[in-house]
Amino acid sequence: MYAICHIIYGHPHTQELADLFGPEELEEHGFEFLYSVDSDLVPGFIGVKLSEFDEASGSSRVSEIFPDATEEQKSEANKKIEALPEAIRKHVGSADNYLIWTID
């Protein structure tokens, strides 16, 4: 098993969202879920995936691993969040950069 870090611009799937909405309902509205063999909370997000790396990536430039979201990517992520039904959107904060860890 090894860890994978997904860098996203948007908003992650949180325990609060999981307590209120099923994954199928969130997927219908644009959330993407990530495979992880060991997780109490199914990792996922709404927004744009910018990059990923794992523990076997070796040496990399930080700017390559953690790229800034372009204006186009920011716009895309914000549109996805704005398109959420109000019942879901009120539990999703503003888009930002997040790290989402998974175990493969």
pLDDT tens for 2-22 read 889 999 999 999 999 999 999
- CA–CA gap between residue 91 and residue 13 (Å, rounded): 10
- CA–CA gap between residue 51 and residue 6 (Å, rounded): 6
Domain residues for 83?
Answer: 3-103
Mean pLDDT score, 20-27: 95
What total of structural domains would you count in the chain? 1
Mean residue pLDDT across the chain = 91
- CA–CA gap between residue 89 and residue 82 (Å, rounded): 7
Mean pLDDT score, 83-93: 96
- CA–CA gap between residue 44 and residue 64 (Å, rounded): 22
- CA–CA gap between residue 32 and residue 62 (Å, rounded): 25
Number of residues written out for the chain:
104
Overall pTM surpassing 0.85 (yes/no): yes
